[in-house]
Amino acid sequence: MANFVNRDPDYSDLDLDFNMSTTGDVSKKTGAEAIKRSVRNLIFTNYYERKFQSFIGSGVTSLLFELDNPFVTVSLQTAISDCINNFEPRVSLQSVDVSDDPDNNGFNVTLTYVILNKNLPVTTGLFLERIR
């Protein structure tokens, strides 16, 4: 029997919830779940938050403290799409939809992107809210 090698990388990352796996180690996220976590982390990263990589970030948290108007929604949409297009090379961003949720003091975000090596479309939802 011949050994088959999968040439497509299966992306993996640590589970930042630090849940234990069955072996007693920290569990890991793989595939689409690792990409989702990476995209989420990029969106919530502020500029100057990563040492020696101060240019990485989206600036989303500073926009959440602006007065509620349509320009904030457009600015959030632009900041998220620029961040993902610039810093996540494993995905091709299809759409970013941001809608205001004044009852919950936040914004609902729906991201649609394609994981490049798998041609797998993924839709992710986030809720952006002000946290002091």
**Cα dist from 132 to 64, 65, 79, 129, whole Å:** 11, 10, 21, 10
pLDDT tens for each residue of 18-76: 666 677 767 777 778 888 988 999 999 999 988 898 899 998 988 998 888 889 999 99
Strands across the sheet containing 106-115: 91-101, 106-115, 120-129
pLDDT tens for each residue of 74-123: 999 999 999 999 999 989 999 999 999 989 989 999 999 998 888 879 99
- pTM of the predicted model over 0.75: yes
Structure tokens at 101: 């949720």
On the 0-12 / 13-18 / 19+ scale of CB atoms within 10 A, 20 is: exposed
Domains, the chain, in order of start with CATH, read: 12-129 (3.10.450.40)
Structure tokens at 57: 């970030």
